[in-house]
């Protein structure tokens, strides 16, 4: 988990992390600064972001947005759940105009708590497909990640792999590695199965995975990959983004781990591989709604999406933009086609199922 600090809401352009979805934990330390009104800042040329992203690409894009529009971008960083809690605590007095976070489950949670508002735009309608945005236009997906299978090249023939459902077969007994049930990515994965296959089959799948686990769930996606290479199991469930991080890590040992793994996109002949997004929603308290919409439009544009695709190991949400060469090297794939809103709507049910089957 990477450490991040909360920057002051209206400090001079704090961009050591910024928009769109990050997945790493951050420090909960808060640095207090003066508000824009105290500093005499022109609030008509400002947009304030609560974000859990921390990427250099995002920083450069926000700087570019400011240069093009004259709108100053202020960022406060933190863990996704902390930012949502902060928005709820601040209520209508919050200075945040835009919430940026990973996973539809979190975006939907913010919506359910009344923390977001509808933000309609012809540009966003064109740039973001229907299945990658909220049905009420309260959030928009900006980058896409697939939840795939990674396997030990020296022990698993990829012809043995097929679907998520096949992982419950007895042939995978004590060979499956996966994160804990309190992980939002797993909750959304199971939520998608509820939408696609129905609750009864989703329960059977979750129970089957528990029966075939190589160990009690622990650690991050990258930890699952490392455990495969260490021989603790043969197949792990992980997001493509994290595999990209391993391959391009500054730690040579992590690169070695990645090179010993293969990537497999499950359910290509059935319902498609599960996908999720990092996305943005205009807050209910937004004082600069128009500027917030302009920023989301910019980040969904072809120019910005190309930069995300090349630098962050994420798939572009904008269908006019191709994935990076690295992602293409893993192969093309058919994704699930359900509207991702269902991931949020089925989240509570997914959590209950995990508890029911003993997925720790």
pLDDT above 50: residue 3:
no
Please provide residue 76's backbone torsions phi and psi, each rounded to the nearest 5 degrees.
Answer: -120, 130
- CA distance between the termini of the chain: 20
**Mean pLDDT computed over 102-122:** 95
**Mean pLDDT computed over 25-36:** 32
| Predicted local confidence at residue 26, as pLDDT | 35
Confidence of residue 247 (pLDDT cuts 50, 70, 90): very high
Three-state DSSP class for 92? helix
Confidence of residue 54 (pLDDT cuts 50, 70, 90): confident
> Which is it for the CA torsion 13, 19, 24, 29, positive or negative?
positive
| Predicted local confidence at residue 33, as pLDDT | 30
Confidence of residue 36 (pLDDT cuts 50, 70, 90): very low
331: left (phi over 0), alpha (psi -120 to 50) or beta: left
Alpha carbon separation from 333 to 145, 247, 256 (Å, rounded): 12, 20, 25
pLDDT above 80: residue 340:
yes
> Looking at 120-129, 238-247, 309-318, 340-349, which range is the least confident one?
309-318
Answer for the pair 276, 186: CB distance below 8 angstroms, yes or no. Answer: no
pLDDT above 80: residue 27:
no
pLDDT above 70: residue 14:
no
The rounded mean pLDDT for the chain is: 89
| Predicted local confidence at residue 43, as pLDDT | 53
Look up the pTM and report it.
0.85
Q: CA–CA separation, 320 vs 123, rounded Å?
A: 13
Q: CA–CA separation, 265 vs 84, rounded Å?
A: 32
Confidence of residue 312 (pLDDT cuts 50, 70, 90): confident
> Looking at 50-59, 87-96, 197-206, which range is the least confident one?
50-59
- For the chain, which domains are there? 36-143+277-321 (3.40.190.10), 144-273+334-357 (3.40.190.10)
Q: For 282-297, what is each residue's pLDDT tens digit? A: 999 999 999 999 999 9
**Mean pLDDT computed over 234-260:** 95
Q: CA–CA separation, 113 vs 190, rounded Å?
A: 22
| Predicted local confidence at residue 16, as pLDDT | 36
Q: Looking only at Cα atoms, what is the longest distance across the chain?
A: 66
CA 231-234-238 angle, to 5 degrees, is: 110
Answer for the pair 186, 179: CB distance below 8 angstroms, yes or no. Answer: yes
| Predicted local confidence at residue 31, as pLDDT | 27
Q: For 168-180, what is each residue's pLDDT tens digit? A: 999 999 999 999 9
| Predicted local confidence at residue 280, as pLDDT | 97
**Mean pLDDT computed over 20-42:** 35
**Mean pLDDT computed over 252-274:** 97
pLDDT above 70: residue 308:
yes
């Amino acid at each position: 988990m990477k450490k991040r600090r909360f920057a002051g809401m209206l400090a001079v352009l704090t961009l050591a992390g910024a928009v769109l979805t990050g997945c790493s934990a951050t420090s909960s330390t808060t640095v207090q600064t003066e508000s824009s009104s105290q500093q005499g800042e022109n609030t008509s040329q400002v947009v304030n972001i609560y974000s859990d992203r921390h990427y250099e690409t995002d920083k450069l894009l926000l700087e570019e947005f400011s240069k093009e529009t004259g709108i100053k971008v202020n960022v406060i960083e933190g863990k996704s759940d902390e930012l949502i809690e902060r928005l709820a605590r601040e209520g209508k007095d919050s200075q945040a105009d835009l919430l940026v976070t990973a996973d539809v489950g979190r975006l939907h949670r913010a919506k359910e708590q009344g923390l977001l508002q509808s933000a309609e735009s012809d540009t966003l309608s064109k740039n973001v497909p229907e299945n990658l945005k909220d049905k009420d236009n309260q959030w928009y997906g900006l980058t896409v990640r697939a939840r795939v299978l990674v396997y030990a090249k020296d022990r698993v023939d990829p012809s043995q792999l097929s679907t998520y459902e096949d992982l419950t077969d007895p042939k995978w007994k004590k060979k499956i590695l996966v994160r804990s049930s309190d992980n939002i990515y797993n909750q959304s994965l199971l939520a998608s199965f509820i939408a696609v296959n129905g609750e009864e089959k989703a329960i059977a799948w979750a129970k089957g995975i528990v029966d075939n686990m190589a160990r009690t769930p622990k650690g991050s996606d990258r930890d699952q990959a490392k455990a495969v290479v260490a021989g603790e199991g043969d197949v792990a469930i992980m997001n493509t983004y994290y595999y990209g991080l391993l391959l391009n890590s500054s730690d040579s040992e992590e690169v070695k781990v990645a090179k010993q793994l293969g990537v497999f996109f499950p359910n290509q002949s059935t319902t498609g591989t599960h996908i999720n997004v990092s996305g943005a929603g205009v807050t209910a308290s937004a004082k600069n709604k128009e500027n917030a919409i302009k920023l989301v439009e910019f980040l969904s544009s072809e120019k910005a999406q190309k930069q995300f695709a090349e630098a962050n190991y994420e798939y572009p949400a904008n269908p006019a933009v191709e994935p990076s060469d690295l992602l293409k090297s893993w192969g093309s794939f058919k994704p699930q086609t359900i509207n991702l809103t269902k991931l949020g709507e089925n989240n509570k049910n997914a959590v209950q199922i995990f508890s029911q089957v003993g997925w720790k």
